[in-house]
Amino acid sequence: MLNIRIEKTQNPKPIPGEDNPLKFGTIFTDHMFIMNYETGKGWHDPRIVEYQPIVLEPSAMVFHYGQEMFEGLKAYRTDEGNVLLFRPDKNAERAMNTNRRICIPEIPAEDFVQAVKELVAVDNAWIPTRPGTSLYIRPFIIATDPFLGVRPSDTYQFIVICSPVGAYYPEGLNPVKIWIEDDYVRAVKGGIGEAKTGGNYVASLAAQVKAHDEGYSQVLWLDGVERKYIEEVGAMNIFFKINGTVVTPKLNGSILPGVTRNSVIELCKHWGLPVEERKVSVDELVEAAKTGALEECWGSGTAAVISPVGHLRFEDNVMQIKDGGIGEVSQKLYDTITGIQLGKVKDEFGWTVQVK
């Protein structure tokens, strides 16, 4: 249990009005959580203070060798005015795994969740109310030793910031076009693909730029060794419905274990749909698209929740799914998960956590 000192700002900012589109990740709330770490002293001085710039030495290790981790989750306001988090314990658990992988000192799961809850409670007025909106929460840790050598840092900052975000699909679910990348790779087994860390994102930029230039919104990655098996979309996990079975790549060490991915699998099983976590080759997909066996495709992640995929391209193969429309399972998953998040659908799994 952390003893968090709360120092409220004397200069609160205007809270965005109902008509503000709340473009993802551009507006930040009044406060942030911050806690320091020092070898020998451990994590200390947890506090909630005004959202403000942080001062670091140019030699701070995070700038040079990328020792940093992050998480992403959302808080939702229900019609009754309650505030709900969606499976924050899963984010805390994943944060511990990321920390272990990149040699950042661990934060107990309950402390991680407490920091998030207390910050959300302080900035509670910033949680937007319009349908589809939420408060995006970004916890992260950076290595701060002023040192240009390569080793784990002895000092860190754990920071949590919050950003009100608009509906990902303001006009309702909208299928995306995805580019299957056969040249660049994102991660390999044994590397950091299963850790939520900035390095995976910088590795993905060149392919993302290439895909955008070709008119595609996101990149679907293949495995880094054989470049044959589907991995994930870089900020989303990927699902296919092939001949009535829900199929998703099995976690293999280079795929990020999404909280939404896990929720999708549990829901589909609960509905009695056959679910397979296994290797899926790109050849199998191309073939399934040709024969019509590829019935649906969607991505899963905190930002969009469920993102229907209407169009996949691999080299010269263009795969149109559901004639570019939305599949029934994609729509049902979206409605159910967002319904649970907003307290409108019965939470049979105990996934939501009330803030205060």
Ligand X SMILES: *Cc1c(COP(=O)(O)O)cnc(C)c1O
Closest CA to 48 of 96, 104, 116, 108: 116
Question: Residue 90 CB, nearest distance to ligand X (Å)?
Answer: 7
Place of tokens 């054989």: 226
Query: Site for ligand X (CB under 6 A): which residue of 134, 208, 248, 302?
Result: 302
Q: For residue 294, what are the β-bridge partners? A: 242
For ligand X, the binding residues in 207-236 under the rule CB under 6 A are: 232, 234-236
Which is closer to ligand X, CB of 144 or CB of 254?
254
Are 208 and 265 in contact by the 8 Å Cβ rule? The answer is no
Q: Rounded to whole angstroms, how far apart are CA atoms 332 and 335?
A: 5
Query: Site for ligand X (CB under 6 A): which residue of 153, 208, 248, 260?
Result: 260
If one asks whether residue 72 binds ligand X (CB under 6 A), the answer comes out as yes
Q: How many residues does the chain have?
A: 356
Which is closer to ligand X, CB of 232 or CB of 295?
232
If one asks whether residue 256 binds ligand X (CB under 6 A), the answer comes out as yes
Are 219 and 157 in contact by the 8 Å Cβ rule? The answer is no
Interface characters, 107-146, with ligand X (x: CB under 6 A): ----------------------------------------
If one asks whether residue 258 binds ligand X (CB under 6 A), the answer comes out as yes
Distances (CA, A) of 248 to 167, 181, 328: 26, 18, 17
Distances (CA, A) of 129 to 31, 183, 355: 19, 43, 16
Q: Both tokens of residue 209?
A: 């730029």
Total of residues contacting ligand X (CB under 6 A):
16
Question: Residue 196 CB, nearest distance to ligand X (Å)?
Answer: 5
If one asks whether residue 181 binds ligand X (CB under 6 A), the answer comes out as no
* Interacting residues toward ligand X by CB under 6 A: 72, 196, 200, 232, 234-237, 256, 258-261, 300-302
